[in-house]
Structure 1
C-alpha cells in the first residue's frame, strides 16, 4: 500500500517500526483540533446544508478555539 507509519509502535513490539516524529506531531495537532471542533454541536451534526455556511462556521469555531 506504500503507507507510511505515523503512530509509534509499542515498546514491547518484537519488530520495531520506525516513524516520523514530526509527522506524528502534526497529526496529533490536527486530531486535537477536530476533537475541539466536535464540541460544537452544529459542527458535529452538520446542520448547515450549504458548504459556504458550514465552512464559515468552521472558521468561526476555529477562531473561538484559538482565543480560548
Structure 2
C-alpha cells in the first residue's frame, strides 16, 4: 500500500510495524521511520519520541470519526460515497465542540 502513495518525510507507526525489512525499505526511499522498537528486540534502534507523540492526535481524530456508525461499520460500498461520509463526519466533528457532545 505504501508503494501507491508518495513517500513521506516521516512515517509514524506503532511497535507492531517494527520490522527491519519495512525500516530498510523506508530509509531507501528517503523516509525517516518513527517506530518505537519492539521490547523483545535484542538490539533496539533509536527513534524520535517527540515526533512519535504527534501520532496521538491522529489516533484521536480517527476515534472521533468512528463515533459515526456509518464510518465505523463502512456501510458505503463505493469509495467515493465512503469518502463523502468521512468528509461530512469530519465537518460535523469540527463544527461541534467536543464539550457539547458529551
TM-score (norm 1): 0.70
Which position in structure 1 is the counterpart of 2:67? 39
Equivalent residue pairs, number? 63
Q: What CA distance in whole angstroms lies between the structure 2 residues aligned with 1:44 and 1:17?
A: 35
1:53 & 1:61 partners in 2: Cα distance?
A: 12
Give the 4+ runs in structure 1 shifted more than 2 A.
Answer: 2-7, 16-19
1:27 aligns with 2:55: yes
TM-score (norm 2): 0.49
Q: Which of 1 and 2 has higher RCO (CA within 8 Å, sep 6+)?
A: 1
| Residue 66 (structure 1) shift | 1.0
Give the strand-richer structure, 1 or 2: 2
Structure 2's unaligned 5+ residue stretches are 1-19, 25-32, 37-43, 98-102
Unpaired runs of 5+ in structure 1? 8-15
